[in-house]
Amino acid sequence: MNTNRGPADRLKKLRQELVGIELKVPTMNGTPRRYVNLDNAASTPTFRPIMEKVDEFLGFYANVHRGTGFKSQIASWAYDTARRDVARFVKADLADKTVIFTKNTTESINKLSRLYPFRPDGVIITTMMEHHSNDLPWRRRARVIHAGLNPDGSLDIEDYASKLREHAGKVDLVTVTGASNVSGWVNPCHYLARLAHGAGAKFVLDAAQLAPHRPIDMKPSADPEHIDYLAFSAHKMYAPYGVGALVGDKQPLLNAEPDIVGGGVVDIVTIENAYWRELPEREEAGTPDVVGVVALAAAVRLLEAIGWDAIVEHEERLARYLLERLAEVPGVTVYGQSDAGNLRDRLAVFAFNVGSIHHALVAAILSYEFGIGVRSGCFCAHPYMLCLLGVGQQAAEKVRSEIIGRDRTNVPGAVRASVGIYNDESDVDALVDALKVIARGGQTGKYKMCKETGNFVPEGRDCFEFENHFSLTPRLPE
């Protein structure tokens, strides 16, 4: 890419640099369609500049640290430089914070939950809008209390503050999502951190959804609004090569035994003892994903080169356009903030339903007939989705019983469309035009549900022969 272009122009040109942007996928009528990816909240594709940087690095690939060969030295340099890049990306001071590479946000949060020194009677406060990865790990360590929601699905900050006051002095950690992967709500993390610190708690930010879309500032530790720990994943920010990061205060983590032990975590081992290394090495056992770390650093530098003003403006414009166009679809219900004139507090992530049509059926038709990728279900945030959908306790218990019996026929949920920096108005138009067809019952196929999975597939048709499109067999030398 030509780095002399201005940020807005670079962002406009970036779409053509997306790996797979011209990919055509099969549809039921036999006519291939250009694939429209609106599933970015789950994982993002990558861009050619990032892929090219990874390919370039593969020529130097070697294991890191302690190797004397040139390739090992340059791989170690790239790995350590990437750590500094991540610290800069979230404005973390490496004098008192560390950057630990993991495989994703889920592993980062699980690692923190295992390492953090909770008191026997300690309390963790989180919210009803969390992804399971920022809820379930904490339940294993301490009593978890959930702050409630407003009717529009946003965090009830008064309830959050009330719970902090009620448990002041006993709250070890507060852990909150930076942005919801369901409704797109962006939480006021620095204000929430101030309240948490006022109650004597550390503040953890799940930045998986936030990091690709908004700038993050952990702030100095002396600032009452600072973030003590945060976690995010490269696969959601255009570097899907298998790495994540946990960034946060060193000292509490040094007081615990390493989470995983093995090569790389020790200074010396005897038959009787092991002497652990300092952070971050003591929490990166074994051979790390050096390639994934290089890809993350490339993605960080790409986002920084484009500039956050251009990214936020572009995604807000698309969010506004998508909301306005969704309103044209008969019977559509959008969950969360649906005011197209007020988008500063939400990302371009939209959960919606189309009348009484099953959410999984809508998603299936979009894929099989229109070549559009979205997601449906509860998005690993079951309690939150039940609140948004207004599902009562009795109905929820009935569905849980059915799921345990391997029947997902009646699982509640929604369709989710989520925008990345490469999407444009033509992608939104493709989605909405297809939804209008579905809303009026104009789809061409008939579909049946698989009771065990809750997914719909076309009746009387074989599944696509995926090996005709992609094979795992490498090219052999001739």
| CA nearest neighbour of 254 among 221, 281, 273 | 281
Least Cα distance to 239 among 6, 412, 50 occurs for 50
Give me the catalytic one of 189, 378, 380, 387. 380
3-state SS assignment for residue 185: strand
Distance of CA 333 to CAs 109, 179, 286, 322, 352, Å?
33, 20, 48, 13, 5
Active site residue 387: no
Nearest 5°: the CA angle 43, 152, 438 is: 60
* Through-space distance between the first and last CA atoms of the chain, rounded to whole angstroms: 34
Residue 407 tokens, joined? 């029947």
Alpha-carbon distance of 76 to 297, in angstroms, equals 14
Pairing of strands 171-177, 202-206: parallel
| Cα–Cα distance measured from residue 69 to residue 41, given in angstroms and rounded to the nearest whole number | 40
User: How far is residue 340's CA from residue 330's CA, in Å, rounded to a whole number?
Assistant: 18
- Helices (H), ranges, 307-424: 308-326, 359-370, 382-389, 393-404
- The DSSP symbol for 18 reads B
Q: Helix, strand or coil for residue 88? A: helix
- 368 phi and psi angles, rounded to 5 deg: -70, -30
Q: Which residues does the annotation mark as catalytic?
A: 380
